Structure 1
Amino acid sequence: MGVFDDLERKAEDLLKGSSAQDSSHDEDAPGEQKERGINKVLDGVADAANHATRGAYEKQIDGARDTIEKKLGGK
């Protein structure tokens, strides 16, 4: 399960990074900060999955990313 461990680590790194970067946008509403952080993590995980599969499942990965975003209340 090396690929999934790598994806998990990347997602955690993105979450940590987005928390630090989001603090620079204090004037934004908390919901906007959360949505920006979620999108950043989803984009990073999708990119990592596409890279790990060498783009073979890009359409499916992007579709899953969009479905997750919608379920989390994104646009």
Structure 2
Amino acid sequence: MAGFDDISKKAQAFLKDGKVQDALKSEKAEGVSDDVLAAVAKAADKATGGKHTDKIEQARQQADKRIGDR
């Protein structure tokens, strides 16, 4: 899972950027982030053959909480 860890670290660094944080605080961004997270979760679930559906959903929820936090 080294590839996933690398992607996760890059995503965390991206989300800490001040400009990204400001953009994420808008209502439009909330809707877009929900759509993106749902699409990523669906793709991950499909890629894993549904073997990790619960973990993927938990990750999606945690990401949504952090992104949607105002």
- Normalized against structure 2, the TM-score is what? 0.60
Letter in 2 for 1:35: E
Deviation readout 1:4-60 (Å, 9 max, x if unpaired): 7xxxxxxxxxxxxxxxxxxxxxxxxx8221000000110000000000001100000
CA-atom RMSD, angstroms? Answer: 1.8
| Counterpart for residue 17 of structure 2 | none
Runs of 4+ in 1 over 6 A off after TM superposition: none
Distance in 2 (CA, whole Å) between partners of 1:65 and 1:52 is 15
Unaligned 5+ residue runs, structure 1?
5-29
Aligned residues: 46
Q: Percent identity?
A: 37
Partner of residue 30, structure 2: 35
TM-score, scaled to structure 1: 0.56
Q: Write out aligned runs for 1:1-75 (5 A).
A: 31-73=26-68
CA distance in 1, matches of 2:68, 2:30: 8
